[in-house]
Copies of this chain bind each other. A is one copy, B any other.
């Protein structure tokens, strides 16, 4: 077996990385149950036995892929800055998520699959680390509300909206391409424009909305 205690060999590093990156594609396309070790092995250009020499089970591969992908996927939220301008910060966050959706659709689908199946692996993580991160960002949103920079509402729903709309372009790409034939570059540009126009306007602080309402 590959020594866990010593340093990783060159070959170990190469193969483990290759397995993980290949597995992201496979798992995101077919889900955990729908993916087989043989598929992964073939896609990575090695034998099944060899894959299982580096990871002792399919589940271990899946965990490695999740961990590897998780941090990148959630990074943009970390950057939401309490000191910045509310609307600009939100706009930046939306754009960062949209970009991720475009450049890493597999990561998005991997999580969508995992959550849909009831988050059997990352359930605990959601309740602890992610919850802590989200609570912090919710507090920032509340601060902005008190300062009148954005309207008042239950702040977590803004996060849900941003997540769902941006990830939709990765997770439901097949449906989108069936309904809209424009090239992906236009699609994503239009998505960004739309969210910009509608959301930023809709979020603007209550001092304006009172006037508009009349």
* Residue positions of A touching B, CB distance < 8 A: 29-34, 109, 112-113, 115-119, 123, 126-127, 130-131, 134, 151, 153-154, 156-158, 160-161, 163-165, 167-169, 171-172, 174-176, 178-180, 190-191, 193-195, 197-204, 208-209, 212
Compute how far the CA of A177 lies from the CA of B194 in the bound complex, rounded to whole angstroms: 29
User: Once bound together, how far apart are the Cα atoms of A33 and B27, in whole Å?
Assistant: 13
Nearest CB of chain B from residue A31's CB, rounded to whole Å: 6
Chain B residue nearest to A178 in the complex (CB): B126
**B198 and A115 form a contact (CB under 8 A):** no
CA distance A140 to B29 in the complex (A): 35
- Chain B residues lying within 8 Å of A115, measured Cβ to Cβ, are 171-172, 174-175
Report B-chain residues with C-beta under 8 Å of the C-beta of A134.
179
User: Once bound together, how far apart are the Cα atoms of A178 and B208, in whole Å?
Assistant: 34
Query: For residue A178, which residues in chain B have a CB less than 8 angstroms away from its CB?
Result: 119, 123, 126-127, 130-131
Q: Given A174-B123, A179-B126, A204-B212, are A31 and B153 also a contact pair (CB < 8 Å)?
A: no
Additional A-B contact list (16), CB under 8 Å, known A153-B193, A160-B168: A29-B118, A30-B33, A31-B33, A31-B113, A34-B34, A115-B175, A119-B174, A130-B178, A160-B165, A161-B198, A197-B202, A197-B209, A199-B202, A201-B212, A202-B202, A208-B212
